Amino acid sequence: MQKSPATEAASPGHDADTRSPIPPAYGRGLLKNPLVKAMGEERVAELFESGELLTFKPGQVIAEQSTPADNVFFIVGGAAKAEILPRDPGGLKVSFGILPQGQDIGLLSVVTCDHHSATVTAVEDVSVISVPTAKIAEVLLKNPELYRIFAEIAVYRLRTSGLWMRSFRSGATSLS
């Protein structure tokens, strides 16, 4: 797929089909995310004022493993799959499963300042709201009570990844 200059400038490295202002109808999808749900209307508005709506067709990559996680993607429509791709041609590809509406991609990078740990690909038409990690960090700094929720999300994901690592070592190729 070829990128339009506007899409390329706004979202380098992503194969988004379209960009547009965030319609209010996507609020339902956002409220399925535990951090967003706990934020309150004013903070949600502040957070997403710098966000942009991106859409992806099935098979398009939303986030690529080992690339900088400069944005967090909140899935507001559709579903995507997360996989760790092998480094070697004969290596094992490991699936984390399907990420539905309400999930985010790259949220822990707000704290870790790390790269994406998996490749996330649309399995159907997917709409995401892309928010710079710096904006999320700014909102969290202004609202320290949100750090508890953020910490709970981080602990849950770390526990889940520990489960995944134990399964992976025993030969499993999927948690789903």
Does residue 176 lie within any of the structural domains? no
Give the pTM: 0.75
Mean pLDDT of 118-142: 91
Does residue 127 lie within any of the structural domains? yes
Q: In CATH, what number is assigned to the domain containing residue 35?
A: 2.60.120.10
Task: Give the structural domain span for 12.
Answer: 5-169
Does residue 147 lie within any of the structural domains? yes
Mean pLDDT of 55-78: 94
Does residue 151 lie within any of the structural domains? yes
The proportion of the chain whose per-residue pLDDT surpasses 90, expressed as a percent, equals 28
Question: How many angstroms separate the Cα of 168 from the Cα of each of 64, 66, 88, 156?
Answer: 21, 19, 17, 18
Angle at 24 between CA 121 and CA 62, to 5 degrees: 10
Count the domains in the chain.
1
Does residue 175 lie within any of the structural domains? no
